[in-house]
């Protein structure tokens, strides 16, 4: 195949700082740039993926995210622009890849961030929706239904979606592919009026206790969301920027002149040679000499100062030696007497057949048997 690259005309968008920005990369928009399907009459449904990056850089800006679930679904760029980028055009290069023909099509998305007059909204609430994925929540009709439910509960004059974040980006785990489980999504909204009593119910001690016990809190306005959105009220975050205390501390700046420490004197280029003989003696010779002296002292004590049997007998009383000699003599006599016992072997221990010829051997006790270890049993008939 011949790999071609076609460039679309630039597209300009004008999001507001601090307000959710969503841009859908439609596959149908790029299908016309690729050749038709090879089989006539069949609808072209080529797998198309997108690559997005800031012009001149390998990745997107920090506030901009991109998601595409499968090559057969549309891609979505979303995020909340920052105030620092107001007035600075951000050029995003979008490259579409046709996975069937390996062709590419490219166009630039110029994001002109505008300043919002009502930004930042002082009261911000972040909801965690368990039964939604981020690309489902980014759909205009779904996001509109959620903002309508929030507005019905909160009753603000101005209400904006500030940011949407997938639970996976907050450290969540990938759900199991069973029972159509969703990964969950965080949605932050801002308003110009204080939080309603319904939203404040999350801060009640009873609900806080139920959340600590992993139980569902009791929220009166939950039924207004439950029909479409399953909100985890234990993870809701309410931020009142009007009560935020500034932690800025004034920095006392000095003259900016370091004290004079003299001129820097680098070491000389020529290094002197060092004699390591003394280090060798201290490290090896001295411990070896001490070990040798200790070995000689131990050898003298163990080998040259043995007392022996004679010195032991000289220091032992005579009566004790006589008793010891009598005990040894009596023990020797008993052992000699036990060797002279002539007691027959029991018939159960004598062979019945000759081990060589197989003839029957009479149970007679030959004189050649060793009788020193015969048991004290009578001859069995």
pLDDT of 60-115, one tens digit each? 998 999 999 889 999 999 998 888 888 888 899 999 998 888 888 888 999 998 88
CATH classification for the domain delimited by 121-238, as one of 3.40.50, 2.60.40, 3.30.70, 2.60.120? 3.30.70
Measured on CA atoms in the order 79, 170, 156, 226, is the torsion positive or negative? Answer: positive
Q: Report how far residue 342's alpha carbon sits from residue 194's, in angstroms, rounded to the nearest whole number.
A: 117
The answer to whether 99 touches 51, Cβ cutoff 8 Å, is no
Both ends of the chain: CA-CA distance in Å?
A: 110
User: Is the per-residue pLDDT at 188 higher than 80?
Assistant: yes
CATH code 3.40.50.1970 for 4-111 = no
Closest CA to 153 of 200, 120, 187, 188: 200
User: Is the per-residue pLDDT at 169 higher than 80?
Assistant: yes
Residues of CATH 3.30.70 domain(s) within the chain?
A: 121-238
Closest CA to 156 of 195, 115, 99, 118: 195
Q: Name, of 53-57, 240-244, 247-251, the range with top average pLDDT.
A: 53-57
What is the residue-averaged pLDDT of the chain? Answer: 80
42/340: higher pLDDT = 340
pLDDT of 294-333, one tens digit each? 999 999 888 877 667 777 778 788 888 888 889 989 998 8
Residues 6+ apart with CB under 8 A from 341: 371, 372, 374
The pTM assigned to this predicted structure is 0.58
Q: Report how far residue 95's alpha carbon sits from residue 28's, in angstroms, rounded to the nearest whole number.
A: 14
pLDDT at 7: 43
Phi, psi values for residue 70, rounded to 5°: -140, 160
Residues 6+ apart with CB under 8 A from 44: 31, 34, 36, 37
User: Is the per-residue pLDDT at 342 higher than 90?
Assistant: no
271/59: higher pLDDT = 59
pLDDT at 1: 27
């Amino acid at each position: 195949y011949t790999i071609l690259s076609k460039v679309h005309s630039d597209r300009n968008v004008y999001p507001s700082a601090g307000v959710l920005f969503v841009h859908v990369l439609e596959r149908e928009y790029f299908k016309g740039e690729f050749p038709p399907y090879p089989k006539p009459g069949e609808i072209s449904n080529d797998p198309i993926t997108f690559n997005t990056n800031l012009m001149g850089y390998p990745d997107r800006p920090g506030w901009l995210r991109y998601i595409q679930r499968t090559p057969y679904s549309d891609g979505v760029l979303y995020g909340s622009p920052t105030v620092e980028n107001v007035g600075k055009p951000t050029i995003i290069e979008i490259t579409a890849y046709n996975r069937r023909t390996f062709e590419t099509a490219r166009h630039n998305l110029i994001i002109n961030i505008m300043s919002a007059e009502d930004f930042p909204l002082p009261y911000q609430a972040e909801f965690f929706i368990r039964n939604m994925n981020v690309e489902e929540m980014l759909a205009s009709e779904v996001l509109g239904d959620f903002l309508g439910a929030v507005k019905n509960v909160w009753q603000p004059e101005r209400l904006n979606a500030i940011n949407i974040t997938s639970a996976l980006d907050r450290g969540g785990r990938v759900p199991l592919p069973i029972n159509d489980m969703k990964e969950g999504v965080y949605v932050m909204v801002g308003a110009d009026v204080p939080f309603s009593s319904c939203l404040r119910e999350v801060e009640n001690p009873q609900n806080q206790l139920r959340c600590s016990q992993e139980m569902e809190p009791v929220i009166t306005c939950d039924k207004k969301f439950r029909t479409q959105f399953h909100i985890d009220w234990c993870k809701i975050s309410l931020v009142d920027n009007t009560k935020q205390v500034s932690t800025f501390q004034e920095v006392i700046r000095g003259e900016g002149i370091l004290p004079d420490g003299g001129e820097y004197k680098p070491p000389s280029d020529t290094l002197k040679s060092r004699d390591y003989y003394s280090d060798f003696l201290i490290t090896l010779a001295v411990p070896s000499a001490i070990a040798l002296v200790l070995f000689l002292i131990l050898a003298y004590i163990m080998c040259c100062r043995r007392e022996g049997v004679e010195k032991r007998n000289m220091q032992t009383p005579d009566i004790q030696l006589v008793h010891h000699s009598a005990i040894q003599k009596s023990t020797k006599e008993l052992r000699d007497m036990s060797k002279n016992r002539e007691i027959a072997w029991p018939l159960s221990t004598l062979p019945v057949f000759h081990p060589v010829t197989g003839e029957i051997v009479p149970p007679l006790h030959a004189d050649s048997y060793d009788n020193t270890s015969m048991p004290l049993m009578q001859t069995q008939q």
